[in-house]
Copies of this chain bind each other. A is one copy, B any other.
């Protein structure tokens, strides 16, 4: 989960998103609309008797908040919270990783300390070609070493290179989430070629002055970043409540970067 505004657990129920796979929560910054769903979620996890660890990643101030919630609302602890503060070297070194993914934090330009997150899938291992392994009578236990590139030696002493037994994996995917921020070259340098970029577009270019004052981005600026960084697809979101209809923002972005879509509540975007 990336950011957790008030009512997140209510929205999850509404859209039938289960808690089972929610292992890690990334927080961009300590403004209420990005973090105030955390106490409710953490206290619900206690009530449900969650046992799996929960990883929380975010700016250093978040640690105090998490401690306070834990102390105040999760008195009967059933699970462990691991807090990972974002540090200064966050662009070059993953702030968090698991078996499949590395996550980097990108310092943004907002009124308070704020980070975007870049999710990079680790290189996938190649796929075994079952017809070939069956042909050579290769046992299952050898699959992992073949995937790692080791050749197979048959009983007759024939050496079969791994490339003949496997087909290449899909290229690893990358997703970047960038909110809240004024347009930033640090973002641009770090989201080059990502498959999917979520970038805030709080205002349209008609409100560029207000965007500058409040450290936000316009739809046109978000689209320019997407273009210059050669991202595959752009989602814009975090719209100011002054826009009752976001179509003009979408059109403004699409005029510069056609493959733009609006962030819509409850919608799933596949990478």
A7 at the interface (CB under 8 A from B): yes
When chains A and B are docked, how far (Å) is the Cα of A40 from the Cα of B7?
Answer: 10
A32 contacts which chain B residues (CB < 8 A)? 39-40, 43-44, 73
CB distance from A197 to the nearest CB of B (A): 28
A61 in complex: contacting residue of B37, B44, B72, CB < 8 Å? B72
A68 at the interface (CB under 8 A from B): yes
Question: In the complex the two chains form, is A43's CB within 8 Å of B36's CB?
Answer: yes
A81 at the interface (CB under 8 A from B): no
A43 contacts which chain B residues (CB < 8 A)? 31-32, 36
Chain B's closest residue to A68 (CB) is: B68
A262 at the interface (CB under 8 A from B): no
A64 contacts which chain B residues (CB < 8 A)? 72
A112 contacts which chain B residues (CB < 8 A)? 75
When chains A and B are docked, how far (Å) is the Cα of A9 from the Cα of B33?
Answer: 12
When chains A and B are docked, how far (Å) is the Cα of A75 from the Cα of B111?
Answer: 11
A215 at the interface (CB under 8 A from B): no
Return the CB mask of A10-38 against B: 1 if under 8 Å, else 0: 10000000000000000000111000110
Known: A6-B7, A7-B6. A36 touches B72 (CB 8 A): no
When chains A and B are docked, how far (Å) is the Cα of A36 from the Cα of B40?
Answer: 7
Question: In the complex the two chains form, is B61's CB within 8 Å of A6's CB?
Answer: no
A65 at the interface (CB under 8 A from B): yes
Question: In the complex the two chains form, is B37's CB within 8 Å of A6's CB?
Answer: yes
Supply 17 A–B pairs (Cβ within 8 Å), ascending by A.
A6-B6, A6-B9, A6-B10, A6-B40, A7-B7, A7-B10, A30-B73, A31-B43, A31-B73, A32-B39, A36-B39, A36-B73, A61-B72, A64-B72, A65-B72, A68-B68, A75-B112
The 10 closest A-B pairs by CB, nearest first: A32-B43, A6-B40, A7-B7, A36-B40, A32-B73, A36-B39, A68-B68, A32-B40, A7-B10, A6-B6
Apart from A6-B40, A32-B73, list 11 A-B contacts with CB within 8 A.
A6-B6, A6-B10, A6-B37, A6-B39, A30-B72, A31-B43, A31-B73, A32-B43, A39-B39, A61-B72, A68-B68
